[in-house]
């Protein structure tokens, strides 16, 4: 059996790799991206009114938010659902906040179908984070299609709706990922604020990192699978509400534009 020290090292190496990947993703990706503000400005909605957000067939929010007027920010969670996701959903329900969840297929959607069903039913945007978290820019088109398509099908079997959003692992994307995403009806969503919560269990630090990076039209990236993350969420929500922010799903952030398949959205 490996020693405790050896196991700790095994955890640190992926964290360092992830940190480098996040730095790359925030610095830019290899395809053009569209900001939420530009998406709204280019919307073809004839009366100029914001559209109600979708929630994958759920019975939750039909809230309409005009992010041209409101100080909007989107809270997103990657790589779940996990053991702490039900607690997170209780927090979001209490705070009347709807989030966007980018779900992993193989070991998460299949393992927690009741949680996936609850996400949709409570008005959260259910989105795709691939089947096994492989870097899509390292795969051929068939591999990309497999990673995204299997998760699309697994979520649809549970919720009755296929996701319309995806987040590429590590934020890595390219023209082939764009082409397959468009084929599958998926928009790509990156982010503007991250706590690097894979590298710490310090909830106060996670909260501080997000609050330091929060901005109008921002997209917050957190992971509901790490121990320090969910305890940080109430403080993040409370402080950002105090600062005048309105929490929205990613489609609400783009409204009156609808997410366009293949397009990369990034604040």
Per DSSP, the chain holds a count of helices (H) and strands (E) of 9, 10
Looking at 47, 78, 112, 212, which residue is catalytic?
78
161: left (phi over 0), alpha (psi -120 to 50) or beta: beta
**Nearest C-alpha neighbor of 234 from the set 213, 197, 205, 203:** 203
Q: What is the DSSP pairing of strand 218-223 with strand 193-194?
A: parallel
**Rounded CA separation 200/95 (Å):** 25
Q: Is 48 left (phi over 0), alpha (psi -120 to 50) or beta?
A: left
The answer to whether 167 and 220 have CB atoms below 8 angstroms apart is no
Q: Is 108 a catalytic residue?
A: no
Cα gap 196→213, rounded to integer Å: 12
Catalytic, 66? Answer no
In residues, how long is the chain? Answer: 267
What residues are paired with 246 via a beta bridge?
A: 72
Residue 190 and residue 129 in contact, taking contact as beta carbons nearer than 8 Å: no
Decide if 214 contacts 240 (C-beta within 8 A).
Answer: yes
Strand ranges for the chain from DSSP E: 33-34, 72-80, 100-103, 125-128, 165-166, 187-189, 193-194, 218-223, 246-248, 264-265
Catalytic residue among 108, 112, 124, 223: 223
Which residues are catalytic, by number? 78, 223
């Amino acid at each position: 059996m490996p020693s405790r020290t050896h196991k700790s090292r095994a955890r640190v190496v992926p964290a360092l790799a992830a940190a480098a990947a996040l730095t790359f993703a925030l610095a830019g990706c290899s395809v053009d991206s569209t900001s939420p503000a530009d998406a709204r400005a280019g919307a073809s909605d004839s009366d100029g009114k914001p559209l109600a957000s979708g929630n994958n067939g759920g019975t939750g929010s039909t809230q309409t938010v005009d992010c041209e007027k409101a100080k909007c920010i989107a809270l997103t969670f990657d790589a779940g659902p996990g053991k702490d996701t039900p607690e997170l959903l209780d927090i979001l329900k209490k705070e009347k906040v709807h989030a966007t969840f980018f779900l992993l297929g193989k070991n998460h959607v299949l393992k927690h179908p009741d949680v996936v069903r609850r996400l949709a039913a409570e008005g959260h945007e259910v989105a795709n984070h691939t089947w096994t978290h492989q870097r899509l820019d390292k795969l051929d088109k068939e591999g990309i299609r497999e990673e995204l398509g299997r998760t699309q099908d697994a979520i649809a079997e549970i919720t009755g709706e296929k996701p319309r959003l995806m987040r590429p692992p590590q934020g890595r994307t390219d023209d082939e990922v764009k082409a397959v995403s468009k084929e599958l009806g998926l928009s790509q969503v990156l982010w503007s604020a991250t706590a690097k919560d894979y590298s710490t269990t310090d909830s106060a630090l996670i909260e501080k990192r997000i609050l330091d990076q929060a901005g109008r039209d921002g997209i917050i990236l957190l992971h509901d699978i790490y121990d320090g993350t969910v305890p940080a969420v109430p403080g993040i929500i409370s402080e950002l509400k105090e600062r005048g922010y309105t929490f929205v799903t990613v489609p609400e952030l783009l409204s009156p534009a609808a997410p366009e398949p293949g397009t990369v959205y990034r604040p």
